Amino acid sequence: MRLQYPPDIRIIQVPCTGKVDIIHLLMAFEEGADGVFVAGCLEGDCHFREGNLHAKKRVKRVKEILDKVGLGGDRVEMYNLSAGQGGRFAEIAKEMTARILALGPSPIRIAKGLIVWPGATATGAAGEVTA
Amino acid sequence: MIRAVGKPIEEIIGMVQDFNKLLIAGCDGCVTVCEAGGLKEVKVLAAALRLYFTQAGTSKQIEETSLTRQCDKEYLAQLRDSIDGYDAVVSLACGVGAQFVADMYTKKVVFPGVNTSFMGATEERGWYVERCQGCGQCILAETGGVCPIARCSKRMLNGPCGGSEAGKCEVAPDIPCGWELIYERLKTLGQLDRFEKPVTPKDWTTSRDGGVRKILREDLRV
Amino acid sequence: MSTETPSKIQKILAAGHLAVTSEVGPPRSADGLVIEHKAKLIADYVDGINVTDNQTSVCRVCSLACCIRIKQMGLEPVLQMVTRDRNRIALQSDILGAASFGINNILCLTGDHQHFGDHANAANVFDLDSVQLIATVKMMRDEGRLLGGHEFQVRPQMFIGAACNPFAGPNVALRVARLAKKAAAGVQFTQTQCIYNMNTFKEFMKIMVDRGLHEKVAVLAGITPMKNVGMARYMQKRVPGIDVPDEVVKRIGGVPKEKQAEEGIKLAIEQIQEIKEIPGIKGFHIMAIEWEEKVPEIVKAAGLFPRPN
């Protein structure tokens, strides 16, 4: 469809979001991810029956953990869309990027002294979504 | 099996604050089955603790392992060579395992990472139900295979009480009345005559009330 | 033959009269005069006065202390005893204590679970249940023996009662069977849970009479007057084991607020009149919770006053 969405997103493909476990999401944050979103099929349409429902529960649990460890549950999110919804994917990507820019770099990145985006401050960003 | 639930993360953070080298030790037994303290849960807890302490600016060394069981010394012995490298151990085993770790490594601070709850069965994944109170004198033969000590909130032997309504216990609407279950089972088995005979008071000496228990099987000990 | 005791209630029943009992709830402080006041209000209108035992697991002055006071006032107390809070040592100890003051009536109960009350995080005991407590009192009275084997001469002389709930699950026939079990253990009288569903109660009494149980256990029908429609709804929805048919709620709610108490009393009196006609009934147990002042009116209007000596 050649739609544009922010370049700051690294995509990891899985056969079903049911394959995504809590530890995978936490590992992403340990490695310095500022935000993670899980994009699964529409509820009721999971190709493997309930994989996306398991993913939903796990994302919820990770939100709770992130709230308790000082990163904030807003950095992770579950989205549902069908394979044909290219436009929706671009929308989600822009939405999540905007959210993370507003939240600022992950405290892990800051604590570890990793590169943060230009103009970023510890709480809130100066960056802009351009696409 | 023994069923447990992971302690809240903030409680564990509070326990380990002052220790720098931590071992998170899971158990492949009961707590793995109820997804509270197996290797998976060890990894999640370790990652969560690392995230917390990193963003807090405190550097801690947090390592992960899981033992076949923590309630048998043979498996605990596997920690002998590495345990001195840690200031504290968070055991995700049930209370039994956590204590056995502490008994074997008396100089090591051992923290419990789960809240151990009961002896129960798996109704469905994620739904564990209490079935046995370990009274030490099993009477299931008399009650059609339903235990009144574990399943009656008042552990009556001559139930049901007057608070049993529509098959539910007065304590909560999602608790079935244990004695109604016994009644239905005895009816199915054609043993309703058991209902008419008063049951005499229980001998609690073989339960927790009799004092700390042990089993000594002389046939197994040389 | 049921053991004879000095119990006034037992004597009145044996003489063929309908017995009337009521209950008083102790205060939640060390005030000893509350019970004295409540007992005086109803003294002439009842044959026995129950004192509840930390009812609904709410901590109050203990039943034993209040029963001793009532006995010393020259009245007839009924010691209610639950097994929720005391093990067999304490239960037998309290029975001996009550008997040492000449208390002649005991109502043996298992007791409401502690989550209902103000100490939900307490451990419970339930060493015995109500049936086992009944058997224990009988053994102390008829054999002069404690559960642990100790034998003694000066025995409690207690008329043994139990609660019974025709409206609890699983079915009426089983509730009769449970009362039969209590009778086999030694129960001599029962005070039923408060009655609003007449059909169920009549079904219960029919099975009682068919089994001949009404001669072994004196059934005192439980009557609780409704104060207002709020109480009716609360009892219908929130109290396990009480069956309040919609017609009753509608009746109380169908009159203006200031008339509802009067309607509740009227209903209670009508219930007594209707129940008097049921074969096997030996009396009434009027539970006017925190409304003890209405007992005289109900007893009089129901034709049960004066009480036989």
pLDDT per position as a tens digit, C19-30? 999 999 999 999
Looking at residue A120, its amino acid is A
Query: Is A129 part of a structural domain of the chain?
Result: no
pLDDT of residue A127: 47
Query: Is A87 part of a structural domain of the chain?
Result: yes
Query: Is A9 part of a structural domain of the chain?
Result: no
C122 is in which domain, residue-wise? 8-301
Tell me which H or E stretch contains C12. Answer: helix C8-14
Compute how many other C-beta atoms are within 10 angstroms of the C-beta atom of residue B215: 6
Q: Give yes or no for a contact between B50 and B12, defined as CB atoms under 8 angstroms apart.
A: no
Number of H helices, E strands in chain C: 11, 8
- Same domain flag for B187 and B148: yes
pLDDT digits (tens, 9 = 90+) for C94-112: 999 999 999 999 999 999 9
- Same domain flag for B114 and B151: no
Where does the pLDDT of residue C2 fall: very low under 50, low under 70, confident under 90, or very high at 90 and above? confident
Query: Is C186 part of a structural domain of the chain?
Result: yes
Q: What is the mean pLDDT of residues C163-178?
A: 92
Residue A85 or residue C289, greater confidence: A85
ipTM field: 0.92
Instruction: Find the CB nearest B164 among C88, C128, C168.
Output: C168
- Same domain flag for B8 and B103: yes
- Is pLDDT at C180 greater than 80 in this prediction? yes
pLDDT of residue A83: 87
**How is residue C46 written in tokens?**
């009842």
pLDDT of residue A130: 36
- Is pLDDT at C1 greater than 60 in this prediction? no
- Same domain flag for B108 and B172: no
Chain B segment 158-187 residues within 8 A of C by beta carbon are 158-168, 170-172, 177, 180, 183-184
Query: Is A7 part of a structural domain of the chain?
Result: no
- Same domain flag for B91 and B192: no
Query: Is B46 part of a structural domain of the chain?
Result: yes
Instruction: Find the CB nearest B55 among A22, A26, A108.
Output: A108
Query: Is A128 part of a structural domain of the chain?
Result: no
Query: Is A53 part of a structural domain of the chain?
Result: yes
Cross-chain Cβ contact B180/C135 below 8 Å: no
Query: Is B221 part of a structural domain of the chain?
Result: no
Cross-chain Cβ contact B201/C128 below 8 Å: yes
Beta-bridged to residue C23, according to DSSP, are C50
A27 is in which domain, residue-wise? 17-112
pLDDT of residue B119: 98
Q: Give the C-alpha separation, A67 to C209, whole Å.
A: 66
- Same domain flag for B104 and B13: yes
pLDDT digits (tens, 9 = 90+) for B145-178: 999 999 999 999 998 999 998 899 999 999 999 9
Query: Is C217 part of a structural domain of the chain?
Result: yes
Q: Which of C88, C171, C174 to mutate to test the interface with B (most CBs of B within 10 A)?
A: C174
Nearest Cα of chain B lies from the Cα of C91 at a distance, in angstroms, of 13
Q: Give yes or no for a contact between A7 and A18, defined as CB atoms under 8 angstroms apart.
A: no
pLDDT of residue A48: 93
Q: Give the C-alpha separation, C232 to C239, whole Å.
A: 10
Burial of B222 by CB count in 10 Å (0-12 exposed, 13-18 middle, 19+ buried)? exposed
Q: Give yes or no for a contact between C191 and C21, defined as CB atoms under 8 angstroms apart.
A: yes
Cross-chain Cβ contact B166/C169 below 8 Å: yes
pLDDT digits (tens, 9 = 90+) for C52-109: 999 999 999 999 999 999 999 999 999 999 999 999 999 999 999 999 999 999 999 9
Nearest Cα of chain B lies from the Cα of A11 at a distance, in angstroms, of 22
Q: Give yes or no for a contact between C101 and C5, defined as CB atoms under 8 angstroms apart.
A: no
Query: Is A123 part of a structural domain of the chain?
Result: no
Q: Give the C-alpha separation, B180 to B153, whole Å.
A: 12
- Same domain flag for B112 and B6: yes
Compute how many other C-beta atoms are within 10 angstroms of the C-beta atom of residue B20: 14
Query: Is B215 part of a structural domain of the chain?
Result: no
Q: Give the C-alpha separation, C139 to A45, whole Å.
A: 69
Taking the CA of residue B82 as centre, how many other CA atoms within 13 Å lie in the half-sphere pointing to its CB? 12
Contacts of A108 in chain B (CB under 8 A): 51, 54-55
- Is pLDDT at C126 greater than 60 in this prediction? yes
CATH number at C60 reads 3.20.20.220
pLDDT digits (tens, 9 = 90+) for B54-91: 999 998 999 999 999 999 999 999 999 999 999 999 99
Instruction: Find the CB nearest A108 among B9, B48, B54.
Output: B54
Q: Which of A27, A31, A69 to mutate to test the interface with B (most CBs of B within 10 A)?
A: A69
Place of tokens 């100790």: C150
E strand intervals along B16-175: 21-27, 61-67, 88-91, 109-112, 114-124, 127-132
Nearest Cα of chain B lies from the Cα of A131 at a distance, in angstroms, of 31
DSSP chain A: ------TT------S-GGG--HHHHHHHHHTT-S-EEEEEPPTT--TTSSHHHHHHHHHHHHHHHHHHTTS-GGGEEEEE--TT-HHHHHHHHHHHHHHHHHH-S-HHHHHHT----TT--SSS-------
* φ/ψ (deg, to 5) at C117: -100, -160
Q: Give the C-alpha separation, A89 to B162, whole Å.
A: 59
Q: Of the candidates B58, B93, B118, which is a domain's last residue?
A: B118
Q: Give yes or no for a contact between A59 and B1, defined as CB atoms under 8 angstroms apart.
A: no
* Total domains in the fold of chain C: 1
pLDDT digits (tens, 9 = 90+) for C199-236: 999 999 999 999 999 999 999 999 999 999 999 999 99
B154 is in which domain, residue-wise? 134-208
Q: What is the pLDDT along chain A (131 residues), one digit of tens a residue?
A: 777 777 778 999 999 999 999 999 999 999 999 999 999 999 999 989 999 999 999 999 999 999 999 999 999 999 999 989 999 999 999 999 999 999 999 999 999 888 888 777 655 444 443 33
pLDDT of residue A114: 87
Place of tokens 């219930």: C271
pLDDT of residue A123: 55
Q: Is the peptide bond before C306 cis (omega within 30 degrees of 0)?
A: yes
Q: Give yes or no for a contact between C176 and C200, defined as CB atoms under 8 angstroms apart.
A: no
Q: Give the C-alpha separation, B65 to C188, whole Å.
A: 65
- Is pLDDT at B142 greater than 90 in this prediction? yes
* Total domains in the fold of chain B: 2
Query: Is C63 part of a structural domain of the chain?
Result: yes
Q: Is the peptide bond before C296 cis (omega within 30 degrees of 0)?
A: no
Instruction: Find the CB nearest A26 among B10, B47, B55.
Output: B47
Query: Is A2 part of a structural domain of the chain?
Result: no
- Same domain flag for B139 and B111: no
Cross-chain Cβ contact B47/A30 below 8 Å: yes
Cross-chain Cβ contact B55/A22 below 8 Å: no
* Total domains in the fold of chain A: 1
**How is residue A112 written in tokens?**
């570890």
Query: What rounded mean pLDDT belongs to chain B?
Result: 96
- Same domain flag for B202 and B160: yes
- Asked if B154 has any chain C CB less than 8 Å from its own CB, the reply is yes
Q: Give the C-alpha separation, B84 to A94, whole Å.
A: 50
pLDDT digits (tens, 9 = 90+) for C31-57: 999 999 999 999 999 999 999 999 999
DSSP C270-282: HHHHHHHTSTTEE
- Is pLDDT at B36 greater than 90 in this prediction? yes
- Same domain flag for B112 and B145: no
